[in-house]
Every structure is written in C-alpha cells, then in structure tokens.
Structure 1
Amino acid sequence: MIREYLEKKGIKMTDSEFKVLMEVATNDIKFNRIGFHEKTNLNDVLSISSLCYKVIKRGC
C-alpha cells in the first residue's frame, strides 16, 4: 500500500531502496510516535514515508 501511494506520487524505487525507506520510516515512527505514546494513523505513515524518501535521496 505504501509503495503504491509513493508510485502514484511519481516516486519510483527499487526493492532495495524501498527496504531502506521502510526501515527509516519505521525507526522514525518508533522513536517519535511510540516513544511519546502517540498513535500513528495511515496518513501520518504515508507522509513520513514521503519525507523519508526525500531525505534518503538528498543524502545520496
């Protein structure tokens, strides 16, 4: 579902790039959301995934 959302936004990536993206997004959610006892809805997950993709691409 997340990959489909990103592809609809024009973001194409390989399986390995997607795996890294999901690791970064998961770590962000665990640290910033779960650590502060906040719930993360689907819109938040999609937004975080988009932002993580931008950060990953900027770092390359």
Structure 2
Amino acid sequence: MLPVLDTAARPEGAYGSGHRNICLLPAKGVIILDVVDDVVMFVEVLDRPEVKASFRAL
C-alpha cells in the first residue's frame, strides 16, 4: 500500500474538468497532488516508506 492521504471525498468516477496533477520533487521521493479547482483532493507519496506510518496515524 502506498502512503496516500485523502483530503476530500473521492468521486465515484473521474475528477472531471478542473483536475490536474502537481508533481513535487523533494530531495527524496516524489509527492503527487491531485488538485481540483485549486483544492488539493488527494496526496500520494512515492519512494518514502517512512512516511507510510505517519499517514496511517492521521
């Protein structure tokens, strides 16, 4: 399971128009934000296993 964080309810289908992905490249790993109409809906963290435990605690 990937470290992910929902910041809003997921739609039953696609996010639709107004959706974009923002890829952040920190010094280690990758962070991908799903943004709809300038609101962050979903955060995915790749290649950072230590973050997985932190996300579970939220």
Structure with the largest fraction of strand: 2
TM-score (norm 2): 0.25
Q: Which has the larger radius of gyration?
A: 2
Structure with the largest fraction of helix: 1
